[in-house]
Amino acid sequence: MEINEFSMDFFSLAGKKAIVTGGNTGLGQAFSLALAKAGADVFVPSVMDDDGTTGPLLAATGRRYEYLKADITAPGAAAKVIATCVERFGAVDILVNSAGICPMAEVLDFGRPQWDATVAVNLTAAFELSYEAAQKMIPQKSGKIINICSLFSFLGGRWSSAYAATKHGLAGFTKAYCDELAMHNIQVNGIAPGYYATEITRKTRSNPETNQRVLDHIPAERWGEPVDLMGALVYLASRASNYVNGHLLVVDGGYLVR
């Protein structure tokens, strides 16, 4: 391909069919809206009910939005999610494994129930959904799988050992699936968000001491906003990133360099 063939259309997702797990709340909602604004139809499986804001946001883009109440950790759930998306949209071109949980407790209070629940949502469900999506993407010789990792794919985490372990695992899984699926023109990448101003971090941000501790570690001197991740997602979901594979794109305001 010659360089003069490049255009901003490389970033367009017009006609693409995307799945965003947990895509009706928090950062997942921003991911869903980003894909829709870029032209994709968006299918959202989530254990959380749509609070009534996601549908109107996506409808305003003119793209189609479908919601499925689903526990992605349940037996057979991944196959059902992929099959339902294909039934409603006709295909699956993009899978964003965004759903995640982060129970927190000190070491002596963090046992198997918290561990097992975190592994089931953050790692096993991402594997099962990616496996099922690959069954559709390989025959069509195209696809994008984007795993939402974390700074804790690189760091340890006090009071969140299972979260750090699963995010390290998700980073490794991203690289492993890239190595196998690249030959089929399927790109598998991850996004590692830093500290973002969402409901999950409200307690940390509301405490002046812990809030300042985080800010002191960020060269940008502010918490990230969901909009800061939207461009990164569109890039990795688009044709513009077709030679980017097995990469973890850190979007953290510079946190890791300080």
Q: Catalytic residue at 163? A: yes
CA distances to 26, 90, 213 from 222, in Å: 18, 42, 11
Q: Cβ-count burial of 139 within 10 angstroms (0-12 exposed, 13-18 middle, 19+ buried)?
A: exposed
- CB environment 231-256: b (16+ within 10 A), e (fewer): ebbbbbbbebbeeebbbbbbbbbebe
Dist CA 50 CA 124 (whole Å): 24
Task: Name the catalytic one among 163, 195, 196, 235.
Answer: 163
| Contact criterion met (CB below 8 Å) for 78 and 121 | no
Residues with catalytic function = 163
